[in-house]
Amino acid sequence: MKLSTEQLKQLIKASVNAHPDEIGCDDCYEKLHEFAELKLAGKSPEEAMPLVEDHLNRCPECQTEFEILLDALKAAESAS
């Protein structure tokens, strides 16, 4: 099994930026609707919920889910 230098560097970067207080995907999901609504209202959810923001920056799956949720909420709003 081979790790390329770039893959290893990527892992090291993620490691040195690791924080004991990081939340997981489940905790992020629990807050995602509130976070999204604040975002759409032009408020600063990253200040109110920094751990959610942090998780979204680290987790591509949750980030994608968040972006789709924002798109869906905007579309539903403009359709109504």
Partner 1 sequence: MSNGYQKNPKKEQLPATNEDWVEALSAPADQRAVSFLREKLISGLKPALHKYVDRELDQFVEDVAQDALVKILDNIHSFRGESKLTTWAMKIAVREGLTELRRKRYDDSSIEEFRYPDDDGRNELTSLTFASELPDPDDATHEQLLLQKVLDIINNELTDKQRRVIKGLMIDEMPVEMLTDQMDTNRNALYKLVHDARLKIKDKLKLDGINADELFNDQ
List of residues contacting partner 1 (CB under 8 A): 1-5, 7-18, 20, 22, 24-26, 29, 31-34, 36-37, 59, 61, 64-65, 68-69, 71-76, 79-80
Tell me how far, at minimum, the Cβ of 22 lies from partner 1, in Å.
6
> What gap in Å lies between CA 20 and CA 51, rounded to an integer?
11
Locate tokens 């560097």: which residue? 9
Residue 59: CB minimum distance to partner 1, A: 6
> Residue 72 contacts by C-beta under 8 Å, 6 or more apart in sequence?
none
Query: CB of 23: closest distance to partner 1 in angstroms?
Result: 9
Q: How far is CA 77 from the centre of its chain?
A: 22
